[in-house]
Structures are given as C-alpha cells and as structure tokens.
Amino acid sequence: MNEQLPLGLQLRASARFSSFVSAAHGELYRQLQQIAVGQAPGPVYCWGAPATGKTHLLQASCYCADSAGLKAAYLSLREYAKLSPGALEGWENFQLLCIDDVEAVAGQPAWEEALFHLYNRVAQRGNRLVLSARLAPAQAGIGLPDLVSRLAAALVYHLQPLNDDQSLQAMCLRAWQAGFELPEETGRYLLRRLPRDLPALMSLLEHLDSASLAAQRKLTVPFVKSVLKLK
C-alpha cells in the first residue's frame, strides 16, 4: 500500500468496508466510501465510545483509497503523542488522511495548534480528511477554539455501539471471511458470557478457529466452553 505507517503501526487486514456491519451507520458508511475514492470532499469527524468501529472505518477508508490508486495515510494520535508536534508536518500531501484518537492530544496547546494547521493545509491542497475521537468536538477537551470550530464544521457522525443482533452479524461475517462457520447459538453464547468488546471478541474468534482446526471440532457451545474453560 501507499500509506505511511510509522512507529510500527499497521492496518488490520480485516479492516475493510466489506467486514463492517453498516446497518447502524449507513449514512457514514456510504459517505466514507465516497470520500475514500475521491467522490466526496469531506472532512468527516466521527465519534463514539471505544469499540464502536471508528478505527475500523478509518483503516477501511485507507484500504479503499489505495485500491482506487490514491495515496492514503492512517495515523493514531495516541501513538504520535509520544513525539513532538512537528511529527504532523507533511501529512497534508496524502490524498486521504485518516487521523484516529484526536482526544489523545486534547489539552496540549502545541499539539492542538499543530493539528489545527495540518487541518488547514489538507484543505488548502484539496485533499480529504477523516478524523475520529471518543467525544464530540465541543466535549473533547480541546482548548484551542479555532480547532474546535474546524472540527465542528466537518460532517459530524456519532457512532453508537452495536446491539446484540448486529454484534452477532459482525462476528458471523468475520468468521465467514476467515473461512469458518460460527453457529448462531455459539455466537449468542459468547455475547452472553463475555464482555461486549467487539474487537476482543473478533480476536477471540481467531483463537477459537485455531483450536477447532487443531481438534478437528466444530465451534459448538460445548467445545467453546472447554476451550475457554467456561462453566
């Protein structure tokens, strides 16, 4: 891919639009697809609690842009906060820039100013920008009024957590794309017995798939109980 991935950051191979349950966020899903291929200008600011799909959507946008032959970049400010604000220089040259974890630099004047100027440089070059954070612009703890104003002027979308049916759909879709079957009964059992952390559940599916292949067993509820040592 064309994207610049410093600090060892990698896009998750599973972070594609095709693996995102879009029913709850159809408008945002379609908007990002258009932005990724240069058919809509942006910018977009999406916010929501952890595990609502923000990172997935930003990384899927990068994959989509790259498939269309465009230069795309993904960066997490949670990682970049370890560096100096000067690390944000140059990113405006990407045709699509996706900035995750905006709240990580909130309350840090030098970082807020650097992000404000990056936002402006992206706009001046006619490139597209997608940002995400846990809170809406006005509640994110950002002290620079001009930056709050810029973020609030974007297309702002609030991502809600998936309900049980949507979470099950996402898990079954991930299993299908990985080449194995997750029975509905087993999926619902996992949702009842484990924390509703979708990324963690997705990682758990990989572990269960490996265990089922090694044991030559299907992912039945009894087998999952034995692997996870649940009663």
pLDDT tens sequence across 148-201: 999 999 999 999 887 888 888 888 888 887 788 999 999 999 988 888 777 788
Last-in-domain residue among 158, 175, 199:
158
CATH number at residue 100: 3.40.50.300
- Cα separations (Å) of 113 from 6, 18, 66, 208, 231? 21, 36, 29, 46, 53
At which of 107, 140, 158 does a domain end? Answer: 158
Kind plus residue range of the DSSP H or E element containing 32 = helix 26-36
- Tell me the pLDDT tens digit for each residue of 10-19: 666 677 777 7
- 119/77 same-domain check: yes
- In a domain? residue 69: yes
Nearest to 72 by CA among 80, 81, 84, 63: 63
Question: Do 133 and 209 share a domain, yes or no?
Answer: no
Q: What is the pTM of this model?
A: 0.79
In a domain, 10, yes or no: no
- Tens digit of each residue's pLDDT (9 = 90 or more) over 83-126: 899 999 999 999 999 999 999 999 999 999 999 999 999 999 99
Q: Please tell me the total count of domains within the chain.
A: 2
| CATH number, domain containing residue 208 | 1.10.8
Which domain, by its residues, includes 190? 164-228
